[in-house]
């Protein structure tokens, strides 16, 4: 299959130059104005490709329809990618294309300490001879998930240029704020109008993921008792010290630094503390709901102990559900997974499934009734200055989507 890789690369390079990092401190959707900039660019590009019903909603969901070329009653399938990048680093990349990678270390010029090598990044060995795209060392590249966007756009362009390829109706959805766990919060599924979906938000070629963490967030607020420190004896209750005691009571063996595979974790991500008031934000992750419940119970036990030890302080612990393991729903109907595996084989790849130590927009969509596993994009070392992607792997992901559209048509009756 001859995809236009030059067009795919040009689109990707165009997208990653736009700073679209999201912010959980913003109440709006999208949470940042840069996401609107990319969404409006994509709106224009989808119109130029001749897609139908191109709609940018008030909450930043860009929807479009690739019309069916097959007369068969094929289920409507949606392809998803998110426009935001992680908040931890700047997102306006200066992308670098390292043509025909030869295995030598890649030093990133804006911060030479940020280096890619075969020793530090073993999966580069699978990309010898590929065109590797990195940022310059000071920002994210933004392959998470602008690689997914470019992959979808390339597949849509190919299918528009080859109407002889039979496929059903395909819906495209580019959404905001996945990185702050709000990606699907305001998507109207009736307006989307799909029966199944796929997120393009995975890593290594061949991945078809249908198991994710289940996720909650927690916030502990501690109100102490203020006093002048010179006359504080038996009066002051220091909220900052209590926050420290809370953090010190968290089991180290359940931290992200000490867990892997199917192990969950409790992760304090922010602590703002004054003597009078402290606030700690945490992430709770587990592949099973009973494990997630156990982590909630552990936090409640720790807080109860602090409350008993210092009854003059006020402790408020609240939990928020973020997303759930999509496996609970997809294992009841594995057709989206099996069809994707067939598409991967047709693209010359070996299908592989792993439990994602994270979540995707598909976690929320699947729980809401739209079965949505996750497909690879080729991105690596995301959320860091060393983020990179192979152009050839992105092309394989686009090819997989084209095959997937045909598989759904073939398997429909």
Catalytic residues: 84, 178
Q: Report d(CA 270, CA 41) in Å as an integer.
A: 34
- The residue with tokens 């992959």 is 151
390 contacts 378 by C-beta, under 8 angstroms: yes
379 contacts 389 by C-beta, under 8 angstroms: yes
Neighbours of 303 (CB within 10 A): 19
Nearest CA-CA partner of 133 in 320, 300, 411, 377: 377
Residues 6+ apart with CB under 8 A from 29: 59, 60, 176, 177, 182, 185, 186
352 — phi, psi (to 5°)? -145, 140
Which tokens belong to 179? 């990185």
**Coil, helix or strand for 108?**
coil
Which tokens belong to 85? 């990048």
Q: What does DSSP say about strands 388-390 and 132-134: parallel, antiparallel, or unpaired?
A: antiparallel
Which tokens belong to 341? 């595996």
């Amino acid at each position: 299959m001859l995809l236009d890789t030059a067009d795919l690369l040009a689109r990707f390079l165009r997208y990653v130059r736009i700073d679209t990092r999201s912010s959980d401190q913003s109440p709006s959707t999208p949470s940042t104005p840069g996401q609107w900039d990319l969404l409006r660019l994509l709106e224009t590009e989808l119109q130029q490709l001749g897609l139908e019903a191109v709609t940018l909603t008030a909450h930043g969901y860009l929807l479009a329809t690739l019309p069916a070329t097959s007369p068969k009653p094929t289920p409507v399938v949606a392809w998803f990618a998110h426009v935001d990048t992680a908040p931890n680093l700047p997102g306006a990349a200066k992308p670098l294309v390292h043509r025909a990678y030869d295995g030598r270390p890649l030093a990133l010029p804006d911060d030479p300490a940020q280096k890619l090598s075969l020793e530090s990044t073993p999966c580069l060995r699978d990309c010898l001879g590929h065109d590797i795209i990195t940022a310059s060392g000071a920002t994210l590249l933004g392959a998470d998930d602008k690689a997914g966007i470019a992959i979808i756009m390339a597949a849509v362009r190919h299918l528009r240029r080859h109407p002889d390829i039979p496929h059903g109706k395909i819906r495209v959805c580019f959404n905001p704020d996945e990185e702050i766990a709000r990606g699907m919060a305001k998507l109207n599924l009736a307006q989307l109008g799909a029966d199944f979906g796929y997120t393009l938000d995975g890593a290594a070629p061949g991945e078809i993921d249908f198991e994710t963490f289940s996720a909650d967030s927690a916030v502990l607020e501690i109100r102490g008792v203020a006093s002048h420190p010179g006359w504080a004896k038996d009066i002051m209750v220091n909220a900052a010290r209590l926050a420290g005691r809370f953090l010190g009571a968290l089991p180290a063996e359940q931290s992200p630094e000490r867990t892997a595979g199917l192990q969950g974790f409790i992760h304090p991500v922010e602590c703002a503390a004054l003597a009078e008031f402290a606030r700690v934000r945490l992430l709770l992750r587990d592949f099973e709901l009973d494990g997630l419940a156990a982590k909630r119970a552990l936090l409640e036990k720790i807080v109860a102990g602090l409350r008993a030890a210092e009854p003059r302080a006020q402790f408020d612990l609240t939990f928020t559900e973020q997303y759930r393991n999509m496996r609970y729903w997809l294992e009841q109907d594995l057709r989206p997974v099996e069809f994707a595996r067939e598409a991967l084989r047709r693209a010359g790849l070996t299908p592989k499934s792993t439990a994602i130590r994270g979540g995707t927009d598909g976690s929320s969509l699947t729980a809401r009734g739209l079965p949505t596993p996750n497909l690879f994009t080729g991105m690596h070392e995301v959320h860091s200055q060393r983020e990179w992607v192979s152009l050839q792997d992105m092309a394989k992901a686009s090819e997989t989507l084209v095959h997937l559209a045909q598989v759904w048509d073939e398997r429909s009756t």
